[in-house]
Amino acid sequence: MATSDLTTRILARDNSLWQRADAPFAPLGWIDLPSRNYEYLLDMTRWAESIDQSKILVLGMGTSGLAPRVFFDFMTNHGPRPQRDIVALDCLDSRSFADIDLTDTAVIVSTKSGITLETDALFRFFYSRLGRPGRFIAITDQGSPLDIEARELGFKRVFNCPTSMGERFTIFSELGIVPAALAGMDLFELFDNATKTEVGAFVKLGEEIGGNANAQINAVEILHARKDRALALWSEQLLAINSAERSKCLIPVPTELSLGTYPRSKVPIAPKSIAELAQLLYGLPFAAAAAGYALEIDPFKEYDELGAREDVLESLRGAPLKISAPEVDFGNLAKYLDSKLHPQDLVAISAYQPLDYENELVAASAQLARELGANIVTAGLAPRHLHATGQLHRDGPAGTHVVQVISKSHGPRIAIPTLETDFNSLIEAQADRQAWELTERGHKVSRIYS
């Protein structure tokens, strides 16, 4: 099919491109998001200007946690200077949040499904500390458990997300633009430039990386500067797609870790203006859609929030899972893995660590990528990446080896109100559940204790 024809069919919301003709859920509503009218954007801007607090704490996983970082980091690096400090919290390690000062802080509870376990746990903790519903804002689907509870409690405002799209494709929805507006982003400039995107160029990019993956070139290097790491993480979770039978996939690798000798496609992300940022954020989902078409797989598959929640809570209530995960250390990890891997096998570092571990994680993983050479190495903080790239690790190519980095101590045990557990136990249950699911699917798991 010609690129122009594929572009036309995507814009026409043709679900049959991905063999979704009979699917009850049409996931292409994100195409319409930049067409929000003037009155909507004006209301959002004026509302943001009315917020008294100088700091915004966003509780959210996946795009809900990454989108605020994308906008805030871009404004910090490229201007205009953010009007408020936006802190995105997508971590359960209490060392990252136990001492956050809430004196001049508004809290956004951001979960499209309204049932995300990590976001719910963090909400319970911060609501018990602050206890002032007028300082809380919710972003969620209409009728979700969070939507109902937030209205009953009297949150300052409850924003409802469009339901016609999956969470990974929502950066132009309320999940992204509420924190963007609070940071002082010019929504009119952002949305106007998004509508000017050369969509066909991104469709062509998707066809190319999908075609390469059909030729067994699965790696997709995301070319970015270090200051654009949040944007790279958002791009990574958007492009991490795989088929149900595990035979086809894209494995996105941020350029900081793309140091091996394996072949790869390349996706440059280097916006320098709001116009360039807007067109990248709007265009890259078209690349993901086109890559899925080229690979004959569904690129819109979403993380099973309810299933993941129930599985982890069951692990907390039931008998311990039997885990097969030999202990190693970073110092001899390359030697340990070398005899167990085939060329281009995926090594994924899954670090259950505080947010400030990110630089150390990238440095250690980059060194591992240099030492292994022929193998793809990715890395992410958990549970953040479980909501996107974690699906690729679990359901993706055979031969995947996941290395969990787990603290011997995650700090003091802090109880989670109403969930009858604590954050340390929740982290341990998530790590055990991830390891168990991976080994059940034939993958290998090792553990590093820090």
Binned at pLDDT 50, 70 and 90, residue 391 comes out as confident
Containing structural domain, residue 137: 36-192
pLDDT classification of 343: cutoffs 50, 70, 90: confident
The CATH number given to whatever domain includes residue 147 is: 3.40.50.10490
Say whether both 40 and 181 belong to one domain. Answer: yes
Say if residue 259 is in the same domain as residue 392. Answer: no
Do residues 50 and 181 both lie within one domain?
yes
In this structure, the strands spanning 346-352 and 265-268 are unpaired
Q: Could you report how far apart the first and last alpha carbons of the chain are, in Å?
A: 51
Considering the domain architecture, whether residues 248 and 312 belong to the same structural domain is answered as: no
The answer to whether 269 and 231 have CB atoms below 8 angstroms apart is yes
Whether residue 54 is found in the same domain as residue 173: yes
Residue 29 falls within a domain, yes or no? no
Where is the domain boundary, 176, 192, 208?
Answer: 192
User: Within this chain, do residues 133 and 204 fall inside the same structural domain, yes or no?
Assistant: no
88, part of any domain: yes
Residues 263, 341, single domain; the answer is no
Residue 320 has what pLDDT?
A: 82
pLDDT at 417: 94
Phi first, then psi, for residue 262 (nearest 5°) are: -70, 155
Percent of the residues in the chain that have a pLDDT greater than 90, as a whole number = 82
Residue 275 lies in a domain: no
pTM (2 d.p.): 0.96
Amino acid 358 reads E
What angle is formed at CA 300 by the lines to CA 297 and CA 302, rounded to 5 degrees? 120
Q: Are 93 and 163 in the same domain?
A: yes
289 and 394 housed in the same domain:
no
Same domain, 237 and 344: no
Res 302: pLDDT: 84
> Is 28 within the bounds of a domain?
no
Q: Is the pLDDT of residue 244 over 80?
A: no
Mean pLDDT of 121-145: 97
In angstroms, rounded to a whole number, what is the distance separating the alpha carbons of residues 443 and 260?
21
Same-domain status, 165 and 95: yes
Determine the average pLDDT of the residues in 157-183. 96
pLDDT tens figures, 63-122: 999 999 999 999 999 999 999 999 999 999 999 999 999 999 999 999 999 999 999 999
Boundary-marking domain end, from 128, 158, 192? 192
What is the average pLDDT score of the chain?
94
In the structure, what pLDDT confidence band is assigned to residue 404 with cuts at 50, 70 and 90?
Answer: very high
Per-residue confidence at 365, pLDDT binned at 50, 70, 90?
A: very high
- Radius of gyration from C-alpha coordinates of the chain: 21
Last residue of a domain, one of 147, 169, 192: 192
Residue 60 and residue 79 in one domain:
yes
Domain total of the chain:
3
Phi, psi of 156 (to 5 degrees): -55, -45
Q: What is the DSSP string of 2-48?
A: -HHHHHHHHHTT-GGGGT-TT-S---BGGGGGGG--HHHHHHHHHHH
